[in-house]
Amino acid sequence: MTGSLAVVGLGPGDASMLTPEASLVLAEADSIYGYGPYVDRVPVRAGQKRLASDNRAERDRAAAALEAAVGGERVVVVSGGDPGVFAMAAAVCEMIEQGPEAWRRLDVRVVPGITAMLALAARCGAPLGHDFCAISLSDNLKPWAVIERRLTAAAEAGFVMALYNPVSKARPWQLGAAFDLLRRLLPVATPVVFGRAVGRGGESVVVVRLEAADAAQADMATCVIVGSAETRVVERPGLAPLVYTPRRLGR
Amino acid sequence: MTGSLAVVGLGPGDASMLTPEASLVLAEADSIYGYGPYVDRVPVRAGQKRLASDNRAERDRAAAALEAAVGGERVVVVSGGDPGVFAMAAAVCEMIEQGPEAWRRLDVRVVPGITAMLALAARCGAPLGHDFCAISLSDNLKPWAVIERRLTAAAEAGFVMALYNPVSKARPWQLGAAFDLLRRLLPVATPVVFGRAVGRGGESVVVVRLEAADAAQADMATCVIVGSAETRVVERPGLAPLVYTPRRLGR
């Protein structure tokens, strides 16, 4: 029997944003591996194994999933959002590179999903309508100096920025430091959007000016979009403002 | 009667990557506006109007759609991929800002989709597994000097890059110029992935080294991902290579 491994993006959380491809792969799996809260989003099916693990156990989880696939199971590893964006697909590829030959012979597939910045952008207009970048603010896996350098490069070159992993209990100061850095490079009125739990229960979207952006507005479930100098806020009577970055620049 | 406007992302093309949310909004629409090839992807429904227009008529299309919504229709504007990434959501927001007050009172919604870089990244592994950016190579809407500056900033700061709109009949030289610029800044072995028509008929994914990247490999249906100095290619016996960017840097 030949097993397989699929790394599946669950999207923001609500079933309405889970692709039919992801639903099908999940339904056909023998076993589901992932961080507990993501495994909990997958409907329970009789006969299907569910192996939840800690957020930081990514290498161990990938290795266990690869071993199960080599053993003949149809294995799914789940990620929130898109598995290729600061998530499990890179961890699985890394283990395949470093692990036994049998892992490099496996049928491996990545199933894309709606990543947090796309869900948040859709909720508030089109802030990612022009050139943009995605930066993880976690300095668990890279030095803070690299993050500062990237924030600076992105601001100076006019990219809108989506900030992933802005804050956690173990990383309380990084988002505030990022805002301080960006305030020295961007106009005070630059729009900043905080999206918490977008696309699932308890959603909130807040738009502020960079001068008033406060890291305390974010938690682990938040994605933050920082506009460029071109990004605009359109006020609307009785409705939430629209935030967008024009497609046209400098003409 | 109160109309509404939804800007809907069709994803890469295959129905398996169209979200249930997008399917539902399309099914309930009175009229579908969009670039011809995108409108053609929407299943025909009795009583639903279909208004296809040229790729470059984005402002006129947005205005016509907004007018129809003010007139009471449930209007959908379709985009390939995600409507917020170099697509119609920003055009609609722009017209709302500049147009009559009635447009700012409309129920407007953006429905996200799987954008080209996520679909391509999933097909080849996890090249966007670390910090990355998305740059449109079209100099129809911004000066080429700005594009050069952003490519330079992204390469120097270590971002992986997804290049949208790499080439068209009217823009034949821009991708070649981008590769020439990047060859001066990145290692010759940096992986470059060409994804053509990913997620629909005629799909092809090709991985080359930056030194061998040839703009003639791309057309209007291509998304190009250029790795960073950290991006790796994992060769596999009898299978396509995996391309990924490790989550960990510099430790």
> What ipTM score was computed for the predicted complex, to two decimals?
0.97
Q: Do A94 and B127 touch (CB under 8 A)?
A: no
Q: Do A20 and B17 touch (CB under 8 A)?
A: yes
pLDDT at residue B242 is higher than 80? yes
Cβ contacts of A18 on chain B, cutoff 8 Å: 19-20
Q: For tokens 């991902």, name the residue.
A: B225
pLDDT at B249: 83
Confidence of residue B146 (pLDDT cuts 50, 70, 90): very high
pLDDT at residue A184 is higher than 60? yes
Confidence of residue A249 (pLDDT cuts 50, 70, 90): confident
Question: How far apart are the CA of B211 and the nearest CA of chain A, in angstroms?
Answer: 23
End-to-end CA distance of chain B: 61
Cβ contacts of A129 on chain B, cutoff 8 Å: 84-87, 89-90, 93
Q: What percent of chain A has pLDDT over 90?
A: 94
Two tokens, residue A1: 């029997």
Cβ contacts of B110 on chain A, cutoff 8 Å: 121-123, 125-126
> What does the mean pLDDT of chain A come to?
96
Q: Which domains does chain B carry? A: 4-111 (3.40.1010.10), 116-244 (3.30.950.10)
Q: For tokens 């109007």, name the residue.
A: B49
Q: Do B123 and A110 touch (CB under 8 A)?
A: yes
pLDDT at residue A67 is higher than 80? yes
Confidence of residue A183 (pLDDT cuts 50, 70, 90): very high
pLDDT at residue B250 is higher than 90? no
* Interchain CB contacts (distance < 8 Å): A and B: 266
The shortest CB-CB distance from A105 to any of B94, B112, B237 is to B237
Residue pair B77/B94 in contact by the 8 Å Cβ criterion: no
pLDDT at residue B81 is higher than 90? yes
B7: nearest CA in chain A? Answer: A122
Q: Do A105 and B24 touch (CB under 8 A)?
A: no
Confidence of residue B98 (pLDDT cuts 50, 70, 90): very high
Q: Do B16 and A17 touch (CB under 8 A)?
A: no
What is the mean predicted confidence (pLDDT) over B47-67?
A: 93
Distance CA A7, CA B48 (A): 37
pLDDT at residue B4 is higher than 90? yes
Q: Do B89 and A19 touch (CB under 8 A)?
A: no
pLDDT at A229: 97
Q: Do A150 and B128 touch (CB under 8 A)?
A: no
pTM: 0.97
Name the nearest CA neighbour of A2 among A99, A97, A102, A90.
A102
Cβ contacts of A19 on chain B, cutoff 8 Å: 11, 16-19, 114
Q: Do B114 and A119 touch (CB under 8 A)?
A: no
pLDDT at A1: 61
Cβ contacts of B158 on chain A, cutoff 8 Å: 146, 149-150
Q: Which residues contact A11 (CB under 8 A, 6 or more apart)?
A: A17, A18, A19, A22, A80, A81, A82, A113, A114, A119, A199, B19
pLDDT at B114: 98
pLDDT at residue B97 is higher than 90? yes
pLDDT at residue A84 is higher than 90? yes
Residue pair A199/A14 in contact by the 8 Å Cβ criterion: yes
Instruction: Count the helix, strand and coil residues of chain A and give each as a percent rounded to the nearest 5.
Output: 35, 30, 40
Q: Do A82 and B153 touch (CB under 8 A)?
A: no
The shortest CB-CB distance from B249 to any of A108, A146, A247 is to A146
The shortest CB-CB distance from A96 to any of B87, B114, B242 is to B242
pLDDT at residue A173 is higher than 80? yes
Question: How far apart are the CA of B131 and the nearest CA of chain A, in angstroms?
Answer: 5
Lowest mean pLDDT among A54-68, B21-35, B152-166: A54-68
Two tokens, residue A14: 């609500």
Instruction: Output the furthest CA–CA distance in chain A (Å, rounded).
Output: 62
pLDDT at residue A118 is higher than 70? yes
pLDDT at residue B251 is higher than 70? no
What is the mean predicted confidence (pLDDT) over B206-210?
A: 98
Name the nearest CA neighbour of A58 among A85, A74, A35, A84.
A35
Q: Which residues contact A183 (CB under 8 A, 6 or more apart)?
A: A210, A211
Residue pair A213/A150 in contact by the 8 Å Cβ criterion: no
In angstroms and rounded to an integer, the radius of gyration of the C-alpha atoms of chain A is 20
Cβ contacts of B132 on chain A, cutoff 8 Å: 133-134
What is the mean predicted confidence (pLDDT) over B59-65?
A: 96
| Neighbouring C-alpha atoms within 13 Å toward the C-beta of A172 | 3
Residue pair B85/A126 in contact by the 8 Å Cβ criterion: no
Tally of CB atoms within 10 A around B248: 13
Cβ contacts of B119 on chain A, cutoff 8 Å: 112
Q: Which residues contact B230 (CB under 8 A, 6 or more apart)?
A: B130, B158, B245, B246, B249
Q: Which residues contact B221 (CB under 8 A, 6 or more apart)?
A: B196, B197
pLDDT at A163: 98
Cβ contacts of B8 on chain A, cutoff 8 Å: none
Q: What percent of chain B has pLDDT over 70?
A: 99
